Structure 1
């Protein structure tokens, strides 16, 4: 059994679930539209440019979770899945996951996007486990703050190493599929790094290293 690791946003789905969730909150009038939409867009640009302050961003995007009850958030997220995420699903991504599952691999998503947004998506995709940026919960309610090491850039390695200590797996024969140059630290660690519909920086690096380059679109 090999470990098959996947980034989520713009890799297994056609879009960024974190950015889309922010836009969804604006559309649902759950946040101050003018202020939130502008900040959400700027954070996304920072991410693409490799200069995102992940802790600042997590405090920003998790803050609205503290406003609502778990039941309200569950209902809101289901609407998000039905109206936004369903349109981002990729048949070729599902086929790739099935291919790895059929050959006996363990399917793991590692994403910088928080676990509230990504948990239901990972469940629909049918992967074995998910590593995502963590949300603080006290007395069954989101505080609006992050906790632990964000699974972003080098943080993906930190979180993966923590995960490996609790799971009988290693990186021998491992795969990692990603679209983003932010994931280069982990891509360099696995046996089979694969660039998926990659940004220009990752595409050029992958070509220089003779890594496999694919599209799921």
Structure 2
């Protein structure tokens, strides 16, 4: 797996002649929001008791709800979420992500979208996941689906722990499109003839880079945009 926006990660050779197929992760390839689900799993696996775990989870949800109600900017919401990770050991979060994945794999995926991903892989496409989630949360899914390239949130670490700060801009909204363009430039790729899949109107900047954008699911604003621009619409359900 390649975190394409992390300059210290070595990227495998990519054939620039191959078609690119780009997928959003949360609520597109998978049903839940991975970043929140993995954080909740971390609290369940590290708390002294189930009651303590549930209190921690309630606090996280309450804090996020409070912030979202006061700030509609999704990139700002993304930054605020990652502040909740301050002080958590990275290795412990990676273990929690694997535990969460193994416990939920049977019902995790939107099968129709995964079928499209598999078809692109079989056709030899360069498959890229672009997500506002973070590397430790995405890793088990990318491994399971044989996805080599992941562009996601980069989180500052110090002494093996998250600081709560992000490195660079959130990969949300326009930031998702910017990160994808950077990946394509680094690898000498383009979205000419390419496909992109997303479930939310904040994915429109990324989807617009593809010759074949696909609106997934039921987000009203995204579906309205897709119809007006003659984009393909696909249900997310199996």
TM-score category, normalised to shorter length: 0.7 to 0.9
**TM-score, normalising length from structure 1?**
0.85
Query: How far does residue 145 in structure 1 lie from its aligned partner after superposition?
Result: 1.7
Q: Cα offset for 1:120?
A: 2.2
C-alpha change, 1:57 and 1:103, in structure 2 (3 Å) is closer
Match of 2:89 in 1: 68
Deviation at 1:153, TM superposition (A): 0.7
Which structure 2 residue ranges, 5 or more long, are not aligned?
Answer: 1-17, 46-52
Indicate the residue corresponding to 2:114 in structure 1.
Answer: 94
- SS at the partner of 1:32? helix
Cα distance in 1 for partners of 2:32, 2:67 equals 15
Q: What's 2:6 paired with?
A: none
* 1:51-66 alignment, distance < 5 Å: 51-64=72-85, 66=87
Q: Which residue of 1 aligns with 2:146?
A: 126
Report the alpha carbon displacement of residue 32 of structure 1 after superposing the two structures with TM.
2.6
Per-residue displacement from partner, 1:111-160 (whole Å, max 9, x unpaired)?
A: 11122212222222211200011111234433222111211111112211
Note if 1:135 corresponds to 2:146.
Answer: no
1:66 deviates by 2.4
SS of the equivalent of 1:142 reads strand
Pick which of 153-162 and 19-28 moved more.
Answer: 19-28
What's the CA shift for 1:86? 4.4
Partner residue of 1:4?
21
- Which of 27, 31, 34 is the equivalent residue of 1:17? 34
Alpha carbons of structure 1 residues 90 and 146: separation in structure 2 relative to 1, 3 Å: same
Unaligned ranges ≥5, structure 1: none
Q: Match of 1:136, SS?
A: strand
Alignment of 1:72-87 (within 5 A): 72-87=92-107
- Scaled by the length of structure 2, what TM-score is found? 0.78
SS of residue paired to 1:213: strand
